[in-house]
A and B are shown apart, each in its own frame.
Chain A
Amino acid sequence: MAGVEERNVALLDEPPVLGPGQTFDSVTDTITDIVLKRPIGLGWLAGLAIGMGLLGVLLMAVSYLFLRGVGIWGINIPVGWGFAIINFVWWIGIGHAGTLISAILLLFKQTWRNSINRFAEAMTLFAVACAGMFPLLHMGRPWLGYWMFPYPNSMGVWPQFRSPLVWDVFAVSTYATISAVFWFVGLVPDLATMREQATNPFARKLYGALSLGWRGSARHWTRYEALYILLAGISTPLVLSVHTVVSFDFAVAIVPGWHTTIFPPYFVAGAIYSGFAMVLVLAIPIRKFYGLEDMITMRHLQNSAKIMLATGLIVGYGYFFETFVALYSGSTYERFMIHNRWFGPYAVFYWALIVLNILIPQVLWSPKIRANTAWLFFISLVVLVGMWLERFVIIVTSLHRDYLPSSWGHYVATRWDWATYAGTIGLFTAAIFLFIRIMPAISIFEIRMLLPQAEVKE
């Protein structure tokens, strides 16, 4: 017990994971009332309207794309990837923080994760949905998207498994599936709580059906916990593999600036970096507007900020080594690539990326800034933009000028590129707003486990 006391003393200067004076009743009510009791407010309606409006833009952009083909985008040879792949990598990276919180922090027994894992997992799902759309739309004939999967067909052809693009199909579809079941399994006991708390007969039926008749039996809990920890265990290598495979899309190619072994770890760190930025962008307003300061405490925000700082430094190390290896390798093409990044037509994006992704987030070293939600919110937005620019720089500067100067080109995004991108932000926003009002946004049973009352005394 001495160890526990020492740790408690060490934690005294840190804010608590849970506000004081909470009971089983109070946590249940606080979380379920957001869905079941709280009237629909103007703020929520406005947020949903913005999300739905942008979702409308997405529908327009996609309809026009289906009508005219990918020629409405700015892509052409040599820059054939453009916004579609930039946004794909950006969105899927954002999803990674959700899995990190729900799986990796669970394995490390970081109990503070219990109040943010649910909405972080939801964030993962919606981000992966946004991400998955881009390669599909990019194919030009999205209705043939199922050709990517190995299935017996009358054409007698099969996918080519030596290509990282096929690996990507497997990685992303597995990631989406496992994230979805992990999220649903985590929800089942809370849906049972919603079933009993709801007074509206339709809501009772809906939550009742979704809760699968969960009754909190000790036998069920034992199997449930065994599965939950195993899912966390398999999700941990899975999430690391997903962005690794995404980075293989680049690293396996021989394009200067892509063909490097540092890509997998640096992509994974970047993914977690932007993912935690999105967690903060969502958590800070949610805790404020829904009065959840006792459950999503400053401790959560500060820990997220620290993870951002750490992963940001790994990303900075990645940038440094990318440059160093290019110069040290003596390869003309690699050296030109760095020169072109620094002083070429897209140099302004590169330097903006360094400022937004590396310089500004260094203020997170200050405990005062980490304790200030406005600053955290601002820095998170900065990081999200910075990480988007990183993908832009990687894709566009490498492709637009590779080996042959005769086939150099220039890439400018069209309004349809921007409309599609803004549209997926709308899809994400609308989904998050609906999620908050339909599902318990914080895991109720895991919060109950954090209460001192939950401990079994001898």
Chain B
Amino acid sequence: MSHLIAAPTLYGLMAEFETPTELVHAAKAAYAEGYREMDAYSPFPIEEASEAIGFHKTRVPLIVLMGGILGGLSGYGLQYWINVIAYPLNIGGKPFHSWPAFIVPTFEMTILFAGLSGVFGMFALNGLPQPYHPVFHVDRFSAVTRDRFFLCVEASDPKFDLVGTQQFMQGLKPLSISEVPH
């Protein structure tokens, strides 16, 4: 918890912008300046903003794939086990292992597991639900769900320095700069 030593009461500094373009430019500038521990906040997804803060890859697709494979295998395995091992029933002389008939539930289980693991995985990776987060201390931040764009450089960044970072942020011409307490 190195940031506690650096600035025990500060989570970071937050700059407010009016347009997505300004946010992306600011994030790029901050990245070029050497800041890494930061996040951009916006009322809708901006692909360029996450690129600018250096966040490129997400593991969500992998989780969906794993969930799908697990769902498909368990769906097929369940049917095989039930119809061949646990409860073999002769239905019109059809083989116990009637694989074409097993395709539909296998497919549905693949989709079900892929979808649910994706949803739970996405929320888990995002650390949601998270009722408390320091950024909500900034009053102006409520506009992030409306029409404002924010860049928060976190105090945990090794390059973070209250005065220096504030000066850097002023150079970005934001609407406002706020200190984000813990």
Identify which of A159, A213, A214 contacts B132 (C-beta below 8 A): A213
Distance between Cα atoms of A181 and B114 in the complex (Å): 12
Neighbouring B residues of A192 by C-beta, 8 Å: 145
Q: How many residues of B contact A (CB 8 A)?
A: 68
Q: Are A455 and B44 in contact (CB under 8 A)?
A: no
Neighbouring A residues of B114 by C-beta, 8 Å: 230, 234
Identify which of B47, B122, B144 contacts A216 (C-beta below 8 A): B144
Identify which of A28, A171, A212, A222 contacts B146 (C-beta below 8 A): A28
Identify which of A162, A164, A220, A445 contacts B126 (C-beta below 8 A): A220
Distance between Cα atoms of A453 and B115 in the complex (Å): 33
Q: Are B135 and A456 in contact (CB under 8 A)?
A: no
* Given contacts A226-B58, A241-B107, A177 and B49 within 8 Å (CB-CB): no
B142 interface contact, C-beta 8 A: yes
Q: Are B20 and A224 in contact (CB under 8 A)?
A: no
Residues 61 to 88 of chain B near chain A (Cβ within 8 Å): 61, 64, 68, 78-79, 82-83, 86-87
CB distance from A217 to the nearest CB of B (A): 5
Q: Are B43 and A448 in contact (CB under 8 A)?
A: yes
B41 interface contact, C-beta 8 A: yes
Which one of B60, B83, B116, B143 has the highest number of Cβ atoms from chain A below 10 Å of its Cβ?
A: B60
A6 interface contact, C-beta 8 A: no
* B131 nearest in chain A by CB position: A213
Identify which of A160, A213, A227 contacts B128 (C-beta below 8 A): A213
Q: Are A230 and B108 in contact (CB under 8 A)?
A: no
Q: Are B87 and A162 in contact (CB under 8 A)?
A: no
Distance between Cα atoms of A455 and B82 in the complex (Å): 54
Identify which of B86, B111, B129, B144 contacts A212 (C-beta below 8 A): B129
A144 interface contact, C-beta 8 A: no
A219 interface contact, C-beta 8 A: yes
Q: Are B145 and A196 in contact (CB under 8 A)?
A: yes
Identify which of B60, B83, B94, B133 contacts A226 (C-beta below 8 A): B60
Neighbouring B residues of A174 by C-beta, 8 Å: 108-109, 111-112
Neighbouring B residues of A67 by C-beta, 8 Å: none
Distance between Cα atoms of A286 and B152 in the complex (Å): 40
Neighbouring B residues of A288 by C-beta, 8 Å: none
Interface string of A338-360 (1 = CB under 8 A from B): 00000000000000000000000
Identify which of B55, B83, B105, B143 contacts A167 (C-beta below 8 A): B105
Neighbouring A residues of B116 by C-beta, 8 Å: 177, 181
Neighbouring B residues of A221 by C-beta, 8 Å: 42, 44-46, 49-50
Q: Are B146 and A220 in contact (CB under 8 A)?
A: no
Distance between Cα atoms of A177 and B71 in the complex (Å): 14
Q: Are A162 and B98 in contact (CB under 8 A)?
A: yes
Q: Are B44 and A215 in contact (CB under 8 A)?
A: no
B163 interface contact, C-beta 8 A: no
* Given contacts A212-B130, A222-B58, A227-B119, A241 and B108 within 8 Å (CB-CB): yes
